[in-house]
Amino acid sequence: MSKIYFSLLVILVLLSACSSTQDIYSIKSSSNVKINNVVDFALKHEGVKYRYGGTTNKGMDCSGLVTTSFKEANITLPRSSGDMSKEGKEIPLESVKKGDLVFFAARNRKKNIDHVGLVTENKNGKIQFIHSTTQRGVIISSFSEEYWQRTFVKAVTLF
């Protein structure tokens, strides 16, 4: 009798281990789907003009673009780039991936965050991000541009 109980116990442990592994994979794939939805939504707004406080195709500011894009994946973020920068986990710039956020102090030298971008890709250390600028509206920029290197404050991952 004890061999039967032992065999049943082993089978139960193996079955539960398999199901938990499957859960991990479904969580990861769910995150990848959300990341892709967020970035794809943001990319659809490339070319939209800048509008302070804007969150529509009529005009968007940088944090409006990011909050609206994340809202598409049912993720709520604070509305200002400064408050948004307090969410998630800070990561090194070299580690950013698609869907991570990059923050800048564009208008001052005190490192007060006033601008946010959404990373669209990081290929071989070449980082691109989408954001809304006052002069050109929603555009994709690169960290190879000296201005963004100079004004960069931090990067954050939410996933």
Which one from 35, 115, 129, 138 is the annotated catalytic residue? 115
pLDDT of residue 33: 84
Residue that the structure tokens 């946010």 belong to: 116
CA nearest to 98, candidates 46, 145, 55, 155? 155
Which one from 39, 48, 62, 158 is the annotated catalytic residue? 62
Q: Which tokens sit at 80?
A: 């200002």
18 carries an active-site annotation: no
pLDDT of residue 21: 33
pLDDT of residue 30: 66
Which one from 131, 137, 138, 151 is the annotated catalytic residue? 131
45 carries an active-site annotation: no
Residues 106 and 67 sit within 8 Å (Cβ to Cβ): no
DSSP letter string over 51-118? -TT-EETTEE-HHHHHHHHHHTTT----SSHHHHTTSSEEE-GGG--TT-EEEE--S-SS----EEEE
33-157 CATH = 3.90.1720.10
CA nearest to 110, candidates 146, 69, 153, 80? 153
- The tens digit of pLDDT for each residue in 44-95 reads 999 999 999 999 999 999 999 999 999 998 999 999 999 999 999 999 999 9
Pairing of strands 101-104, 89-91: unpaired
Residues 79 and 147 sit within 8 Å (Cβ to Cβ): no
Sketch the domain layout of the chain as residue ranges.
33-157
Residue that the structure tokens 């281990």 belong to: 17
Please state whether the predicted TM-score (pTM) of the whole model is above 0.85: no
Q: Give the residue with greater pLDDT, 18 vs 154.
A: 154
Question: What does the CA dihedral 104, 108, 110, 113 come to, rounded to 10 degrees?
Answer: -30
131 carries an active-site annotation: yes
- The tens digit of pLDDT for each residue in 105-140 reads 988 767 799 999 999 999 999 999 999 999 999 999
